[in-house]
Structure 1
Amino acid sequence: MNLSHHTAPTDQPLGVGILGAGPVTQAIHLPALARLRDVLEVRHIMDVDAAVAASVAARVGATSSTSMDELLGDPAVDIVAICSPHQFHADQVIAACRAGKKAVLCEKPFAMNAEEATRISAVSTETGVPIVVGAMHTFDPGWLAAEQNWGDLPETAHTIRSSIVLPPNARFEDFATEILTRPAAGRPDYSDIEVLKAALQGGIMGLAIHDLPLVRRFTPDFEHVEVLQARHVRPFGYAVSLRTPSRVIELRAVMNGTWKPEWTFEAIADDSALRIDFTPSYVQAGSAVATFTRNDGSETSSFGPFGHNGYEGEWRELAGLANGTRQAPPAQTLIDDLTFALAIAGATVESAARDHAAPAHTAGVSA
């Protein structure tokens, strides 16, 4: 993915336009951008609901519209953030690139399949417009500090684990049931295999996907991932065990009435381990803390917390890309992250379907 050919004046903020004015925009991006108002300024909010667009835009003194074309045609907009429903992401990313914007942020997933991802990559390369996918943990200063200090751990780690315990979050629950009509009583029928499959698909692509780029960084043979067991965890969550020829991967999540949220990533080798404690999603609460430990407990090193988290970090990255001071990530990295997530989601759903159809005493899906 080429560095953008555009440059921006350094004496005035870059203009931001946001497609979609829902919870992510309101609870995550606007607060992050408010802390960066010296370099970024929200200038246009688009939403298909005119009242929502106008209300959200009024909070930041921006223009509002119900038309993507109107936002992309706004000369005050330098950077476009795509926060719309995921099925629109690919076409909107491509349109933003073709509109000659300086950089594009797209929420996860930035495409629905590898073909869409390849098409996006080609347009980005052709236009020179860099794309950032909103995997906020990859921009968290705690993760970046770990990256600078982990030595050969990505090559030597044998166990990778992502563990998430959160209170209920309607956005994640809605993502998991987007494909289906939410039952009137709000209680999905998990004896229906299609409901179960949709819940697991949504869990991987709506929640696990935050950490899958991190998992892939520690999984050199990620093309050969195999699901050993996939279990749906009620009311919303999953327990998935995977392996590659050289790695064991554990993905766990549950959303319940917890009083103590926890979001951790671990990479364990024979002689050392890394643990990263992230702040909960939707919380503007500083960075993650990365801790390295030797197997004999003789040495422990911690990095963080730092003054900002990955939400703000991704906007800092976008500003750098737009003004030409940072290099965009290779297109293949974004494609590999997506295909890795899709492969895990697909294999998880297939495993759950097989176990669901198996006799009760051998079934591997339960709650």
Structure 2
Amino acid sequence: MTNNYLPPAKPLGVGILGAGPVTQAIHLPALARLSGLLEVRHIMDVDPDVAKSVAARVGAASSSSMDALLADPGVDVIAICSPHQFHAEQVIASCLAGKKAVLCEKPFAMDASEATRIAKVSAKTGVPILVGAMHTFDPGWLAAESAWGDLPATAHTIRSSIVLPPNSRFEDFATEILTRPAAGSPDYSDLEVVKGMLRGGVMGLAIHDLPLVRRFLPAFEDVEVLHAEIVQPFGYVISLKAGGRSIELRAAMTATWQPEWTFEAIGYDAALHIEFSPSYVQAGSATARITRNGTTTTYGPYGHNGYEGEWRKLAELANGTGTAPSAETLINDLTFALDIADGTAAAATAAAALAEKVPA
């Protein structure tokens, strides 16, 4: 009798650059549920005590050096969870180190030039790159994507709406280009502060859903931000047009509402409505509803969210199966976000100039 039993493959070793809140509260719990596929082997942070403490939770090695992590033979795949300005350098170094795949948090580069350099290195080394736009890996979103038919061609309005509890760590992260006043409260009368917060809101929060928005845009070279304002204490209301579509981006961090994260695409005879679970809750997948000709079909919720989904995809790519997003897709997603961020700053400047001309 022939023995056809094949023992399970050895889990892929994970190395994480950056041991901050996202690593601790999101990635480590997701990886714990995927222990058969992935195993955390090395955590690096510039603060050696933080690296050691977080690594001890999962029995991993720790260091305060990227080179030490990349040289670790037990590390097969890399997750980059460091501040934005280090992403490009670390993605490129991970590819050149011969790792099997790289997951980088958003944004994976600071500008299109950096993104192009990354794409060239990825192509040369053959190392696939995923950007952690977690909602694009959510099984609720994927189920809707397979069922929405011609909605991307017919949608005229796209909306992303985010309501989250106050989170000072996130506020500081999303507005890292600002120097906060000593009291910790931004000066909302300062145009440069407002412009910085708008850019931070786009690149730190709205960017989670901008790849979803792009799925409904045939083109975005004509991005025009019509209105942009800050919602206090932190948030934004942004209206824009691109590719013949009207797009609304809204966010608010306030203790007065339940957390809510929704995405909508509305066409003439069909509409998509998705409710995502808040990132830190680990509450399973999104629930998607597609309404067409008066009939609504619901997809989800499923057993895991987009964070677990992106790790599953990374393991798939590292094992030589599946298809990675094209370099063009990653670069276009980033360029779209940067164009909106620049547009919000320009809109705020124009609004301030108009306010000066209009008598009180």
* TM-score interval, normalised by the smaller of the two chains: over 0.9
Tell me how far apart the structure 2 counterparts of residues 142 and 362 of structure 1 sit (CA, whole Å): 48
Shift in Å, 1:192: 1.0
Tell me how far apart the structure 1 counterparts of residues 352 and 78 of structure 2 sit (CA, whole Å): 43
Tell me how far apart the structure 2 counterparts of residues 182 and 245 of structure 1 sit (CA, whole Å): 36
Shift in Å, 1:98: 0.0
Matched, 1:323 2:300: no
Give the TM-score of the pair, scaled to structure 2. Answer: 0.96
1:335-354 → structure 2 map (5 Å cutoff): 335-354=331-350
Count of residues in Structure 1 that have an aligned counterpart in Structure 2? 353
Give the TM-score of the pair, scaled to structure 1. Answer: 0.94
Q: 2:306 aligns with which of 280, 291, 310?
A: 310
8 Å CA contact retained: 1:176, 1:200: no
User: Residue 18 of structure 2 aligns with which residue?
Assistant: 20
Tell me how far apart the structure 1 counterparts of residues 22 and 151 of structure 2 sit (CA, whole Å): 33
Letter of the structure 1 residue corresponding to residue 348 of structure 2: A
Q: Deviations over 1:66-106 (max 9, x none)?
A: 00000000000000000011000000000000000000000
Letter of the structure 2 residue corresponding to residue 28 of structure 1: I
User: Residue 332 of structure 1 aligns with which residue?
Assistant: 328
Tell me how far apart the structure 1 counterparts of residues 276 and 126 of structure 2 sit (CA, whole Å): 33
The secondary structure found in structure 2 opposite 1:358 is: helix
The root-mean-square deviation of aligned C-alpha atoms, in Å, is: 1.4
8 Å CA contact retained: 2:217, 2:243: no
1:186-197 → structure 2 map (5 Å cutoff): 186-197=184-195
Letter of the structure 2 residue corresponding to residue 59 of structure 1: R
Shift in Å, 1:259: 3.8
The secondary structure found in structure 2 opposite 1:222 is: coil
The secondary structure found in structure 1 opposite 2:281 is: coil
Letter of the structure 2 residue corresponding to residue 279 of structure 1: S
Tell me how far apart the structure 1 counterparts of residues 212 and 109 of structure 2 sit (CA, whole Å): 19
**Quick one: structure 1 residues 245 and 78, their matched pair in 2 at CA, closer, same or farther if it must change by over 3 Å?**
closer
Q: Deviations over 1:157-206 (max 9, x none)?
A: 00000011111123330123311222221111111111111100000000
Q: Deviations over 1:87-129 (max 9, x none)?
A: 0000000000000000000000000000000000000000000
User: Residue 273 of structure 2 aligns with which residue?
Assistant: 275
Matched, 1:29 2:27: yes
Tell me how far apart the structure 2 counterparts of residues 175 and 49 of structure 1 sit (CA, whole Å): 17
Matched, 1:60 2:58: yes
Shift in Å, 1:315: 0.2
User: Residue 96 of structure 2 aligns with which residue?
Assistant: 98
Report sequence identity in percent: 74
1:284-299 → structure 2 map (5 Å cutoff): 284-294=282-292, 298-299=294-295
User: Residue 203 of structure 2 aligns with which residue?
Assistant: 205
Q: Deviations over 1:219-264 (max 9, x none)?
A: 1121211111111111111111111252100001111013411110
The secondary structure found in structure 1 opposite 2:258 is: coil
Tell me how far apart the structure 1 counterparts of residues 11 and 358 of structure 2 sit (CA, whole Å): 60
Letter of the structure 2 residue corresponding to residue 342 of structure 1: L
Structure 1 stretches of 4+ with a deviation exceeding 6 A read none
**Quick one: structure 1 residues 172 and 361, their matched pair in 2 at CA, closer, same or farther if it must change by over 3 Å?**
farther
Range that drifts further, 326-335 or 97-106: 326-335
1:102-141 → structure 2 map (5 Å cutoff): 102-141=100-139
Tell me how far apart the structure 2 counterparts of residues 319 and 258 of structure 1 sit (CA, whole Å): 40
Tell me how far apart the structure 2 counterparts of residues 245 and 207 of structure 1 sit (CA, whole Å): 22
Matched, 1:355 2:351: yes
8 Å CA contact retained: 2:260, 2:278: yes
Shift in Å, 1:361: 8.0
Tell me how far apart the structure 1 counterparts of residues 267 and 224 of structure 2 sit (CA, whole Å): 20
User: Residue 177 of structure 1 aligns with which residue?
Assistant: 175
Shift in Å, 1:46: 0.3
Shift in Å, 1:54: 0.3
Range that drifts further, 193-202 or 111-120: 193-202
The secondary structure found in structure 1 opposite 2:221 is: helix
8 Å CA contact retained: 2:218, 2:243: no
Letter of the structure 1 residue corresponding to residue 166 of structure 2: P
The secondary structure found in structure 2 opposite 1:306 is: coil
Q: Deviations over 1:264-303 (max 9, x none)?
A: 00000011100010011222000000101135xx301000
Shift in Å, 1:10: 5.1
Shift in Å, 1:327: 1.4
Q: 2:145 aligns with which of 144, 147, 157?
A: 147
Letter of the structure 2 residue corresponding to residue 62 of structure 1: A
Tell me how far apart the structure 1 counterparts of residues 40 and 336 of structure 2 sit (CA, whole Å): 33
Tell me how far apart the structure 1 counterparts of residues 328 and 243 of structure 2 sit (CA, whole Å): 22
8 Å CA contact retained: 2:221, 2:243: no
Gaps of at least 5 residues in structure 2 are 1-6
8 Å CA contact retained: 2:175, 2:201: no
8 Å CA contact retained: 2:85, 2:110: yes
Letter of the structure 2 residue corresponding to residue 330 of structure 1: S
User: Residue 5 of structure 1 aligns with which residue?
Assistant: none
Gaps of at least 5 residues in structure 1 are 1-8
User: Residue 3 of structure 1 aligns with which residue?
Assistant: none
